[in-house]
Amino acid sequence: MKKIFFPLLASLCLLLCSSALLAQDVLMITSEMLDKKAKSSISRVYLTEDKLLMESDDNKNMTTLYDAEKEEMYLIDHKKKEYTLMDKAALEAMNAQLQEAAKQMELTLQQMPESQRKMMEAQMSSIMGSNEPITYEKEGAETPVKSWKSTKYVGKSGDKLRHEVYIASYQELGEDKDQFKALVSLYTLLQDQLQAMGRNMPGMTAFSTPDMLPGDVEGLPVKSIYYDVQGQPEITSTMNAIENTTLAADKWQVPPKYKQKKFTASGK
């Protein structure tokens, strides 16, 4: 009996120890996004102090992996078994490609008959909106979002409403600030790059983008409503829950046999 029992017990202990080593404690944020047609999509963001992994029910074949220390984002396509690396160099290259395309479009517009050019300019203005920076004002009363108290900030470009964001303090969220460093790093990277892109676009193609975190506000957005250039609600994102869980360690890396896809502004 012992000859059977002890090897079985040893194997079970080894299996349990291996499972523990392969699982990592993480913080999980579950959010819901609604588009202008009220179509819902649930996403989950997993966080360590220096990494972020995001998955969405809307596209189960895709994973976003972000390394905050390197400021590198990997867009992983599990169906095609390939990935795209987006770092500062790739984002700057995209910026340059878009600027060049915008310059070519401006040249084309200049060669059009005046009536046709004015019609195109009016259409572009209705799409791009004002390039006037979006400025934020804090509203006084605290606003409940789910189980959290939050402070509301309203962002406008000129007289157009572009963003409403509700910020909950880290204390209100019940978590240490350091647990969100990777998320704040990604917010900052994307925000800086998008705003630089909007400012640097030539002529009427210049645009302004909302802040993900307005100014030097301490905390996280628990609800954001983004408005189009006409001031109509376009996307609403709401944080539903924050909880501790575990995630397999191999989820934090690109699968070894996946091929890298070159990043282009067109996405092709």
Note the CATH number of domain 26-254: 2.50.20.10
Mean pLDDT of 118-128: 69
Mean pLDDT of 129-156: 88
Give the span between the Cα atoms of 149 and 144, in whole angstroms: 5
- The answer to whether residue 40 scores a pLDDT higher than 90 is yes
Mean pLDDT of 221-243: 93
- The answer to whether residue 226 scores a pLDDT higher than 60 is yes
Q: Between these two residues, 265 and 2, which has the higher pLDDT value?
A: 265
Measure the N-to-C terminal CA separation of the chain; round to a whole number of Å. 63
What pLDDT was estimated at residue 17?
44
What pLDDT was estimated at residue 130?
67
Which of 55, 67, 31 has its CA nearest to residue 189? 67
Query: What would the pLDDT profile of 234-261 be if each residue is shown by its tens digit?
Result: 999 999 999 999 999 999 999 999 999 9
Assign 203 a pLDDT band (cuts: 50, 70, 90). low
Domain coordinates of the chain in residue numbers?
26-254
Assign 127 a pLDDT band (cuts: 50, 70, 90). low
Assign 158 a pLDDT band (cuts: 50, 70, 90). confident
Compute the CA torsion angle 258, 262, 263, 265 (nearest 10 deg): -140
